[in-house]
Amino acid sequence: MAERTIIITGASDGIGAAAAQALSAGGDRVVVVGRSPEKTKAIADGLGAEYFLADFAQLDQVRGLAAALKEKYPRIDVLANNAGGIMGRRGLTVDGHEKTFQVNHLAPFLLTTLLLDVLLESKARVINTSSVANSFFGHLDIDDLDAEKKYGTNRAYGNAKLANILFTKELDRRYGRQGLTTAAFHPGGVATNFSAESQSPMRFAYKGLLRRFMLTPAQGADTLVWLATTRPGTDWVSGQYYAKRKVAKANKQADDAGLARALWERSEEMVIAQPAG
């Protein structure tokens, strides 16, 4: 396989870093995207890779990231939207959106759509890191995406991970015929720092005794790497949600095509840059 260009967000730690290492070792040109300057540079330097910084809690940084990537890479073979995490109490970003929803869904939605012309020309694949939390906690209210009426840490995370799957399906519906392929996946219970900002009881599992029974980041990255290196249409089906390299059962809302379309349209409205002042 010829060297490909693979963009991985959230690659400064956890499964993103593990996937970057595996794909780089396989001969791909990996581009590391992270929030922390020190951690992102360290991962990239270890791979001899290029890196970019962006905080997904600020959509202007996502816009800047997209512009920089388009300028640097005329071809993008894989975009892995992996950045995300469980947050704490409800809070708004500088863009005015609930932080969990923005970091996990709106920011990768914006990045993907800003890169869409390059992705389509490259016949790229887009891989979205979701979670089984979509089934346990997700119940998406299209009229309350910023959780003004009802908020809970786990609910917000589950809704954002459900949004990842709906986005995957709608991306495939809109652009699959043009050669774009896409999939969402659940990495499993991985011993990472992604719940560091959370007030959820789930954070104790990631920091306490249960951590020793969790998957390693490399194990959690396995399905991402598999989706990035195998053949869509042969080894996996575009638009589907995977766990352990197999199609997995998702929240029943994930099959609502009308909801997927509505989410896309609302997301477009939410990421429109507001004029200064």
Selecting among 73, 151, 157, 206, the annotated active-site residue is 157
Tokens 């029943």 sit on residue: 252
Helix (H, G, I), strand (E, B) or coil at 183: strand
Look up 157 and say whether it is catalytic.
Answer: yes
Give how far the C-alpha of residue 163 lies from the chain's centroid of Cα atoms, to the nearest Å.
Answer: 10
Amino acid at 138: G
Helix (H) or strand (E) run with residue 122 in it: helix 116-122
Question: Residue 13 corresponds to which tokens in the numbers above?
Answer: 């730690």
- Strand partners for 243: 186, 246
- Strand partners for 129: 185
Cα distance between residue 228 and residue 128, in whole Å: 11
Question: Residue 102 corresponds to which tokens in the numbers above?
Answer: 């923005």
Beta carbons within 10 angstroms of residue 197's beta carbon? 17
Question: Residue 66 corresponds to which tokens in the numbers above?
Answer: 């997209």
Helix (H, G, I), strand (E, B) or coil at 23: helix
Tokens 């922390």 sit on residue: 36
Active site residues: 157
